[in-house]
Chains A and B, each alone.
Chain A
Amino acid sequence: MTKSNITKLAGIVLLSIFMLLVPVFVKNDYYMLVINRLLINIVIVLGLNFITGLTGQMNLGTAGIFALGAYTSALLSKNLGISPWLGMLAAVCMGLLIGVGLGFPSLRIKGVYLSLTTIGFAEVVRLLCANLNDVTGGTQGLRQIPPFSVFGFKFNTQQSVYYLFLVIALIAFFIACRITYSKWGRVFKSLRDNVEAVEMCGVNIASVKIKAFTLAAVFGSIGGSMYAHYMGYMNPSTFNTDLSANFVIMLMVGGIGSVVGNVVGAVIVTALPEVLRFLGTYYQLVFATIIVLGAIFLPNGWGDGIRRLYRWIRKKCVGQKTQEGGAENE
């Protein structure tokens, strides 16, 4: 085992201990709520990264995916009395359907037109949820959605939900990592950079794009299912275009295409407004300014900024020796 591997392992162990101990130190329900919302956002942004980050297809319809996942899971478990886990499974199937359904039109349209189509999709979903009164509860929303449970143990405290969501988010993170650094991930990236060249190499572009859409939709639907069973109540006004834009902002702030960047972006966009709440009515203004400043000075995202800072610190501390190590880590 090389030295850098040991450092890495130690880092992972420390991080896991830290993550496991969060609820022990954070007794305040408000902080736990923000952390749990953060974990949901991480799952969704990791999915969005496949299509918008890696493949470069601007998807502004995440709210629609999120809503369909949430409503599928919530309605099935509430009305048919099935376990929320099966509801989540149904949400995954819904994600597959959306992925194929959205992926096909995306084969023929690009750029702004694709963005408009995805916005249209999200709005259609929202309006359906608002107007199918008998099924979705209409604008008054859906109440008493059962929480997740395992063998009679209900995840109904902020702390227990944290552990559940942490596990889901970690699984999502590892899947995202594996896919990004696999053949799929590389094809996704090449599609963003030069479609013609990829086609020349004999890659089936249609199937790749649909794969990317499907991954985004499945992650988004899982996020929706988590949200529904966590909140216990939802109404269609939540799933508006602002929400879709918010996910894209998370992606951009963290660093487009980077899995770690996704996590960083979700953390910043979810937690920063809460941190800034002490500013009273000005917090939104300050938050927006910080984000724009970030976009100017850290065009590759805050994730990249943190990595550069880390390297710089290491260089200062260890000096010449890490030159090789740094190269290895890239």
Chain B
Amino acid sequence: MKKTRLTAFVLAFCMALSLAGCNGSPTDSSGAASAQASAGSGAASSGDTIKIGLIAMLTGANPLNGLRMQQAVQLAVDEYNDKGGLLGKKVQLLTEDDQTLQDMAVTCANKLISEGVVGIVGPHRSTNAMAIEQVVASAGVPTLTGGTTPKISQLNNKFLFRCRASDAVFAEVAAQYAVEKLGAKKVGMFYNNDEFGTGGNEVAKAYCQKAGVEYVAEGHNTNDKDFTGQIMKMKNAKVDAVLIWTHDPELAIHARQIKDLGLNAKVISSPGITMPQVIEMCKPEQIEGWYGVTDFVSTSTVDVTKTFIKNFEAKYKVPAELYSASYYGAAVSLLEAIKTAGSTDRTKVRDALAATKDLQVPVGTMTTDSTNDMVHEVHVAKMVNAEPVYQETVKLQ
């Protein structure tokens, strides 16, 4: 009985502590405010603030990524508020947690819509974006997702925008860079047999055919541990440059075996190579001189990106990364669209988002096309001493 009481006491203490912590933290005050606001009417633009929503994974499998999303969007909102707000009103951010789950994302979208947000930033996963697609379309709320599957472009949803480059753009840029900048006459491709890899392979193949460059491709499966066969074939084919389109563990094994087997070709990899989790799996000399295509390079020399990195680090004391950079851009484009529309009418804001042109954000230049894709360029980084060094930004024609 004593034990039971003790457990209960400890648990109750935990709860009280968390409640106290909740009140103390400034970022969560928006959450509390949202609950009070939920009793209000469903119309956008009610009251003296402009509400924008964020669906992020604050709990569940990837809470850190969700936190970075929230921090970045909050940074954008604060910057606009410091400049006097939008349309003479303050901007208020309402954040909801989707736990990276599909039905939670739908719940969050409905909650935000009923609270009268002008637009929604997130959710991050492509699958969650597809889950809320119908909800935001029927409610007519402009939504900016960071999901990268090419399928999002095929949804034909007027209200769903994409604030990052599609996977297809990455692969085409990689092939283009190999041919145009690195002067490859014969391009090789190691691709994963899943949707991501085969998608990349199709795009790169189409580009090389159009450019009149010889193209050799070798497939492998997720969880394969040995690529000797594929690498030797590529060596015998005497390729000048080779692309690798696969996931993190396979990428690290490729790095080791390409070095061991002495394949002398310039390597351009899918975004994984610029991320710490892959770099840590490889020895620096194995990936020295490799190129990677990515949304965000921390050593970027572009002014907007440099300013964002500085501000983010100053405010949160952590380095900016992919998630914060992507969603800062999404928030800025949404806020700019509200400004351009001169109104909080959701349809007008959607039209303004659809008309976005040459807006500079940390992940590149945003120009909305007919499929509501906003970013059509990615950055190329070169690995120098296990550190991705910004080379240039490549834009698709």
Bound: A237/B32 CA distance, A: 30
One digit per residue, 1 when the CB lies within 8 angstroms of any chain A CB and 0 when it does not, for chain B 1-44 equals 00010011001101100110110010110111011101000100
Cβ-neighbour of A278 out of B21, B34, B59 (below 8 A): B34
Cβ-neighbour of A235 out of B22, B106, B127 (below 8 A): B127
User: Can you name the residue of chain A whose Cβ is closest to the Cβ of B138?
Assistant: A156
A140 and B113 form a contact (CB under 8 A): no
Instruction: With A30-B110, A231-B106 as known contacts, state yes or no: A289 contacts B15, CB within 8 Å.
Output: yes
Contacts of B59 in A (CB 8 A): 281, 284
Report A92-149 residues with CB < 8 Å from chain B CB: 133, 138-141, 143
Is B126 in contact with chain A by the CB < 8 A criterion? yes
Contacts of B139 in A (CB 8 A): 29
One digit per residue, 1 when the CB lies within 8 angstroms of any chain B CB and 0 when it does not, for chain A 11-51 equals 00000000000000001111101100100000000000000
Cβ-neighbour of A286 out of B19, B38, B58, B133 (below 8 A): B19
- Interface residue tally on B, bucketed by range: 35 or more
Mostly helix, strand, loop or mixed at chain A's interface?
Answer: helix
B107 and A279 form a contact (CB under 8 A): no
User: Can you name the residue of chain A whose Cβ is closest to the Cβ of B134?
Assistant: A232
B8 and A278 form a contact (CB under 8 A): no
B101 and A33 form a contact (CB under 8 A): no
Contacts of B195 in A (CB 8 A): 133, 138-140
Separation in Å of the A184 CB from the closest CB of chain B?
33
Mostly helix, strand, loop or mixed at chain B's interface?
Answer: helix
B11 and A292 form a contact (CB under 8 A): yes
Is A234 in contact with chain B by the CB < 8 A criterion? yes
Separation in Å of the B33 CB from the closest CB of chain A?
9
Number of A interface residues at 8 Å Cβ cutoff, please give it.
39
B22 and A282 form a contact (CB under 8 A): yes
Is A86 in contact with chain B by the CB < 8 A criterion? no
Is B259 in contact with chain A by the CB < 8 A criterion? no
Report B108-159 residues with CB < 8 Å from chain A CB: 110-111, 113-114, 126-127, 130-131, 133-134, 139, 149, 151
Is A297 in contact with chain B by the CB < 8 A criterion? yes
Contacts of A227 in B (CB 8 A): 103
Q: What is the interface of chain A, defined by CB distance below 8 A to chain B?
A: 27-31, 33-34, 37, 133, 138-141, 143, 227, 231-235, 237-238, 274, 277-286, 289-290, 292-293, 296-297
Q: What is the interface of chain B, defined by CB distance below 8 A to chain A?
A: 4, 7-8, 11-12, 14-15, 18-19, 21-22, 25, 27-28, 30-32, 34-36, 38, 42, 58-59, 95-97, 100-103, 106-107, 110-111, 113-114, 126-127, 130-131, 133-134, 139, 149, 151, 195
